[in-house]
Amino acid sequence: MRLGYFTMPVHPLGRDWSQTLREDREAIILADKLGFYDAFVGEHLTDACENITNSMMFQATLIHDTKTIKLATGTANLAQMHPVVIAVNAAMFDHLSQGRFVMGVSAGALTSDSEAIGILDLDRNKIFAEAIDVILAVWEGNPPYDIDLPDNRFKVTFARTAALELGVGILAKPFQKPRPEIVGTVVAPFSPGVVLMGKRDFHPLSANFLLPRHLKSHWSNYAKGKAEAGAKANIADWRVARTIFVADDDRAAKRYGFDDAKSPYRFYFEQMRAKMKRGNRLYVFKSHKEQPDEEITLDYVMQHCITFGSVNKVVDAILKLHEETGDFGELVYAGMDWVDPTLARRSMQLMAEEVMPRVNAIIGKAAKTAAE
């Protein structure tokens, strides 16, 4: 099982933007040194807490400060930009990073972003679907281009302006062949969108704020989509994000990961719960569809969504998760605000150097025993 990293990020209001950007970069540089496989970074145009406005631009600053970690948009919000712009910028990023690029994609969920750019009343999921089709057509096609897909608002042609002998009218292709890995974040329990991801060979990343009991539905739907496309699902393609804090002792872990009023984990879930409630999406935290909204308190959400403890306790929790969900290819560690940089760095170090080796050894031993 690989170890990955994801951050929205979510920082308290009033923190210096330059400082949080530096800290978010430091976290990914550390993840690279510790051997994390990839790092996903979110983006929002209009959120002062989730304050990275363009994940691809942010990740580009890390290409030459990292060595092996794959740098991923988490996600590029495709409804907010013309697909040609995204396609050629992603292709350039892929070349600059020499193939260390993963393209995480979504429509973009923040309504204030949509209002700011005048698409609030449009069907953003439809724009997203149209955009990804055009991006793939750009990468698969060759000049002269005449991309005119059915029921798709984005038409791409150079009929009036091309001068191929001068290099004018040519769209860039990625470094990776046939294309970079495409990943979609899955938030809703039993999401039907994961079936479509399987059909298109886009890989699922199950969100860190979803209750563990719902995760298995993502894999089932992904495998269904792959089967409908005549292919077999590969467990290595499924990423599961979790909110984890590891400390040298259980007492310190509980304080920083749960109890303390200044805990970044408490602040994170205060934000997530308030935003989900505002968007009528508290269902993501529910154990069953009929569960009353009144039961979805902050403590309830934290108790069900945060894993904290010493190495042994976290190892046991991950093994329990693995037993409940079955195999998955990557455990994605959710990054928080660095209220205490020393504790934040130590958690990532313990996760990479002690937790994951023990987890993989136990899972590997169990798999070997089962095969004998």
Distance of alpha carbon 209 from alpha carbon 204, whole angstroms:
15
Band (pLDDT 50/70/90 cuts) for residue 152 is: very high
Provide the CB-side half-sphere exposure for 90 (13 A, CA): 30
Q: Is the pLDDT of residue 368 over 80?
A: no
pLDDT one-digit tens code per residue, 282-297: 999 999 989 999 999 9
Q: Is the pLDDT of residue 371 over 80?
A: no
CA angle 122, 123, 127 (to 5 degrees): 100
Tokens standing for residue 277: 């409630």
Q: Is the pLDDT of residue 321 over 90?
A: yes
- Percent of residues, the chain, with pLDDT higher than 70: 100
pLDDT one-digit tens code per residue, 13-51: 999 999 999 999 999 999 999 999 999 999 999 999 999
Buried b (16+ CB within 10 A) or exposed e, 210-233: bebebbebbbebbbbbbeeeeeeb
Mean pLDDT, residues 61-65: 98
Q: How far is CA 146 from CA 92, 134, 136, 143, in A?
A: 22, 11, 13, 8
Q: What is the pLDDT of residue 370?
A: 77
Cβ atoms of 367 and 37 within 8 Å: the answer is no
Average pLDDT, the chain: 97
Name, in order, each residue with C-beta under 8 angstroms of 372's C-beta and a sequence gap of 6 or more: none
Provide the CB-side half-sphere exposure for 74 (13 A, CA): 29
Q: What is the pLDDT of residue 224?
A: 97
Q: Which domains does the chain have, with CATH numbers?
A: 2-249+306-371 (3.20.20.30)
CA angle 218, 136, 162 (to 5 degrees): 165
Band (pLDDT 50/70/90 cuts) for residue 367 is: confident
Mean pLDDT, residues 297-324: 98
Q: What is the pLDDT of residue 372?
A: 66
What are 73's strand-pairing partners? Answer: 41, 103
